[in-house]
Structures are given as structure tokens and as C-alpha cells.
């Protein structure tokens, strides 16, 4: 059995990955070892059959014993560890959820329902670095897969509504603390309380020094943050930049026609699952009923939601999709502001298809070819 070292298994993405690997019995076909940057030597029961002793994630001599390393630890870890391992002539496969390597020429962004052929070819050519795409990119590509297959897309503008968990486990906890502090500020809530007084209490709390905002640097509960990731010189956030460049890299890798993507990425107070309002410029007039059919039948994960109020409210929300592999796609209609402009709203669990699932499937592709 191949030796697979897993780093970052207790983080947000890593925990979901481990959960999915159990659901799919992936651990039965690999010899799994668990690494930690902070708790090496500790014992954990991740495998059902036995306790595992955590290995030191900074010990290159332990890491190079692995055939495959799968990291959900984050970009700083990748920057620190991959190069020294390659310097030691480690020729194993590195599978990563972090963005660090995505745009490198020796790394492939993996989203196998879209670029499996390209992945197979890259394996044959000896590629060793495999990276899951940005969460909103992978979710968007699967949501509009039907339009991509038909080469119907000229450009996409994506307005995102991204959950706290997109920033990691600690940030998710900070959102919960903020929610608690806001509701704690309302201990005098009564049926006849003045709404203006209650609102004033909330505003005072969220703008006070004692409000917890160590990680987000701003109130997220009861508010939003219109910037995700670093600031680039052209006015885009790095998250917005990723939308365009990663989409193009994934599509081109598999011979699909590439298209431009730009928009605005916003953090909202949802716990889990990212939503996106897409404006899609089609390159030709296409009947709406056929567009709906293309989207609905593109892959097994699209859950097409007819454009009516009842079904949209019920199915197109983080609350409805969190924890599920299906990606809800709805509010599909032609916009009235120009020719061939399509409106689509999509919601998917960014920890599943947006992060853990593409790397889990890549691990399976590698273990199935018995390197
Ligand atoms: P995370 O939740 O912050 O976890 C990263 C590491 O933080 C863990 O492996 C753990 O390492 C350490 N950690 C410290 N205190 C912790 C605590 N109380 N609970 C859990 N972990 C703790 O990061 P993540 O969101 O999983 O992201 C990992 C990588 O995936 C990042 O590069 C991110 O950009 C990328 N990614 C994330 C998402 C997403 O939606 N979150 C989506 C796509 C890609 P030790 O056990 O070694 O201490």
C-alpha cells in the first residue's frame, strides 16, 4: 500500500477531508500517517482500527518516507516545506489545498469532472504537484459546467457571498463569538422593546473596543466585509484575481475555451458554504429552457432549482446546502439590461467541492494507478 502523509487534518478543510475519506472507505487502500505542526508525538484516533502517533510536520526525514503528501495546512507550510523536500530528491506526489503553487508551471489545478483528461496526461508526463482550486472557482465551474461544455460563455462577472469558514476554523469560532456578543448585548429584549433601542445596543457593541474581531479585524456578525485576501495594485483583491486566472488555467489545461472572470468577493456572516451571483455574457442567443437543461444535466452534483420564490428560498442558501456534495444552481433568467446576459445564483459547500473533494479525488486517482 502507498504511504500517504496527511498534514493539516484538524483544520477546517482537513477535518472535512478526513470525514469524506471515512465515508468513501479511502483509508482501506492507503497506509495513512498523520503529521502536525504543533502536536507531534501526541496520539490521535483518526483511523477506526488504531491510534496514530502524530509525526512532526517539519521533519523532512519523516516526510520523505511518504509516497504521497497531502497538505491542508496552508500556504506558509507549503512554502516552507516543499522546496527542501525536493532538494532532498523526494520524488513523491504533493497534493495541496493551499493556493501557493496553483499558478506554477509545474503544478496542475485539479477539478477532475472538468479536467480529468489533462490530469491523466500530466501523470503520464511525470507531474508531481497537484493543487485544489480556489473554492469559488471550483464551485462556479461545476455550477455552469453545462454552459462550458457547449462553449457558450463569453465572460462571467461573479459577486460572491463567502462564509466565515472560508477563512479557517479559528475564524468560524470568531464569528460565533461575535454572534454571542451581539445577542448578549440584548439582555433587555422584551416583546414591547423599542426596535431602535435594540438596534442601538447592537451598533454600540459591534463598534466597541470590547467586540471580538482579532481575526476578521471588523464585525462580520450583523455586518459584512467587502474584501477577501490581499490587496493588489490594480484594485482587485487577491481572491478576485484568483477567479480569473485559475478559471483560465483549469479550462485551458483541458482544451476548453477560456473566458474572463471578474467581480467582487464579499465575506458574509454565513458559517459554511459560499454563494455567488453570476452575470454571464453568452456568446449567442440561446433559449432559456435549453440553458436550464444544459445546466441541470451537466454533472451529477448540480441541483437545479427552478426560478420561483418558494423553491429558491428553500434550496438556494448556505443553510440548505452545507454538508452536501450537491451544488444548488438557480435564479436562472435572462437579464433585461443587455443582449444575451444571463443571471445565475449558485450555492455550494466550499469545504466539500470547494476544497476537500477535489484533493480527495486526486489522491484516489494517484492511488488507483498504483504509482
Ligand atoms: P485552518 O482551519 O486554519 O487549519 C490550518 C491548521 O491550523 C490546522 O491544520 C492546524 O494545524 C492549525 N490549527 C491551530 N489551531 C487550530 C484549531 N483550534 N482548530 C483547528 N486547527 C487549528 O485552515 P483551513 O481553512 O482548513 O485551510 C487550509 C488551507 O486550505 C489554506 O491554504 C486555505 O487557503 C485552503 N483552502 C481553504 C478553504 C476553506 O474554505 N477553508 C477552501 C479552499 C482552500 P496543526 O494541527 O498542525 O496545529
Give tens-digit pLDDT for 305-351: 999 999 999 999 999 999 999 999 999 999 999 999 999 999 999 99
Average pLDDT over the chain reads: 96
- Atom 13 of ligand 1, residue of closest alpha carbon: 11
Helix, coil or strand: residue 100: coil
DSSP 8-state symbol, 247: H
* Beta-carbon-side half-sphere exposure of residue 307 (alpha carbons within 13 Å): 12
Residue listed under C-alpha cell 431602535: 196
Task: Tell which one of 55, 62, 72 to mutate to probe ligand 1, the residue whose CB is within 8 A of the most ligand atoms.
Answer: 72
Residue 55: phi and psi, rounded to 5, are -95, 160
Active site residue 72: no
Tell how far CA 304 is from the center of its chain.
20
Task: Inform me whether the pLDDT recorded for 304 exceeds 80.
Answer: yes
Question: Which residue owns the Cα nearest ligand 1 atom 46?
Answer: 36
Paired residues of 94 in beta bridges: 69, 129
Query: Strand, coil or helix: what is 73?
Result: coil
At 62, which helix (H) or strand (E)? Answer: helix 60-63
CA of 262 to the centre of ligand 1 (A): 26
Entry pTM: 0.95
- For a ligand 1 pocket test, name from 5, 7, 8, 11 the mutation site with the most ligand atoms within 8 angstroms of its C-beta: 11
Q: What pLDDT does residue 371 have?
A: 60
Percent of the chain scoring above 90 in pLDDT: 92
CA-closest residue to ligand 1 atom 3: 168
Q: Residue 13 C-alpha to ligand 1 middle, in angstroms?
A: 6
Q: Output the nine-digit C-alpha cell for 195.
A: 426596535
Catalytic residue among 33, 72, 135, 265: 135
Going from the Cα of 109 to the center of ligand 1, the distance in angstroms, rounded, reads 19
Mean pLDDT value across residues 179-192:
82
Mean of pLDDT values over 139-161: 98
In ligand 1, the atom with minimum distance to the C-alpha of 37 is 47
* pLDDT tens for each residue of 263-277: 999 999 999 999 999
The protein residue whose alpha carbon is closest to atom 22 in ligand 1 is 11
Mean pLDDT, residues 22-41: 96
Ligand 1 center from residue 360 Cα (angstroms): 16
Q: How far apart are the first and last CA of the chain?
A: 10
Cα separation of 261 and 241, whole Å? 9
Average pLDDT on 129-148 reads: 98
Q: What is the pLDDT at residue 185?
A: 73
Average pLDDT value for residue range 228-246: 97
User: Distance (Å, rounded) from C-alpha 119 to C-alpha 131?
Assistant: 11
136, 158 Cβ separation under 8 angstroms: yes
CA 14–ligand 1 middle distance (angstroms): 7
Q: Which residues line ligand 1 (CB under 6 A)?
A: 8, 10-14, 36-39, 57, 72-75, 97-99, 135, 165-166, 168-170, 350-351, 354-355
Closest ligand 1 atom to Cα of 166: 40
- From ligand 1's centre to the CA of 352, what distance in Å? 14
Q: Are 371 and 93 in contact (CB under 8 A)?
A: yes
Measure the CA–CA gap between 78 and 278, rounded to whole angstroms.
Answer: 32
Three-state SS string over 102-144 comes to CCCCCEEEECHHHHHHHHHHHHHHCCCEEEECCHHHHHHHHHC
Amino acid at each position: 500500500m502507498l504511504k500517504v502523509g496527511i498534514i493539516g487534518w484538524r483544520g477546517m478543510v482537513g477535518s472535512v477531508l478526513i470525514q469524506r475519506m471515512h465515508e468513501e472507505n479511502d483509508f482501506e487502500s492507503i497506509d495513512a500517517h498523520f503529521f502536525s505542526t504543533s502536536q507531534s508525538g501526541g496520539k490521535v484516533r483518526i483511523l477506526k482500527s488504531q491510534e496514530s502517533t502524530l509525526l512532526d510536520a517539519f521533519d523532512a526525514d519523516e516526510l520523505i518516507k511518504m509516497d504521497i503528501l497531502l497538505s491542508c495546512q496552508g500556504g506558509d507550510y507549503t512554502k516552507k516545506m516543499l522546496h527542501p523536500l525536493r532538494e532532498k530528491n523526494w520524488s513523491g506526489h504533493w497534493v495541496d489545498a493551499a493556493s501557493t503553487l496553483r499558478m506554477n508551471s509545474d503544478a496542475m489545478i485539479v477539478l477532475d469532472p472538468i479536467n480529468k483528461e489533462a490530469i491523466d496526461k500530466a501523470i503520464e508526463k511525470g507531474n508531481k504537484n497537484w493543487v485544489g482550486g480556489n473554492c469559488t472557482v471550483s464551485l462556479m465551474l461545476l455550477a455552469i459546467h453545462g454552459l462550458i461544455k457547449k462553449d457558450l460563455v463569453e465572460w462571467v462577472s461573479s459577486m460572491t457571498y463567502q462564509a466565515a469558514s472560508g477563512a479557517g476554523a479559528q475564524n468560524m469560532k470568531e464569528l460565533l463569538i461575535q454572534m454571542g456578543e451581539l445577542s448578549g448585548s440584548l439582555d433587555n429584549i422584551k416583546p414591547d422593546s423599542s426596535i431602535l433601542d435594540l438596534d442601538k445596543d447592537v451598533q454600540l457593541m459591534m463598534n466597541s473596543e470590547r467586540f471580538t474581531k482579532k481575526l476578521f479585524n471588523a464585525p462580520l456578525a450583523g455586518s459584512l466585509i467587502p474584501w477577501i485576501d490581499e490587496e493588489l495594485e490594480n484594485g482587485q483583491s487577491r481572491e478576485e484575481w484568483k477567479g480569473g486566472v485559475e478559471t483560465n488555467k483549469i479550462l485551458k489545461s483541458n482544451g476548453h475555451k477560456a473566458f474572463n472572470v471578474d467581480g467582487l468577493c464579499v465575506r458574509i456572516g454565513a458559517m459554511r458554504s459560499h454563494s455567488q451571483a453570476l452575470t454571464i455574457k453568452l456568446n449567442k442567443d440561446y433559449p432559456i429552457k435549453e440553458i436550464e437543461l444544459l445546466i441541470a444535466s451537466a454533472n451529477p452534483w448540480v441541483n437545479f432549482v427552478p426560478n420561483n420564490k418558494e423553491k429558491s428560498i428553500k434550496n438556494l442558501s448556505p443553510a440548505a446546502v452545507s454538508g452536501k456534495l450537491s451544488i444548488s444552481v438557480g435564479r436562472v433568467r435572462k437579464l433585461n439590461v443587455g443582449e444575451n446576459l444571463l443571471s445565475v445564483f449558485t450555492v455550494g459547500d466550499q469545504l466539500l467541492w470547494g476544497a476537500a473533494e477535489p484533493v480527495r479525488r486526486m489522491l484516489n486517482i494517484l492511488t488507483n494507478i498504483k504509482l
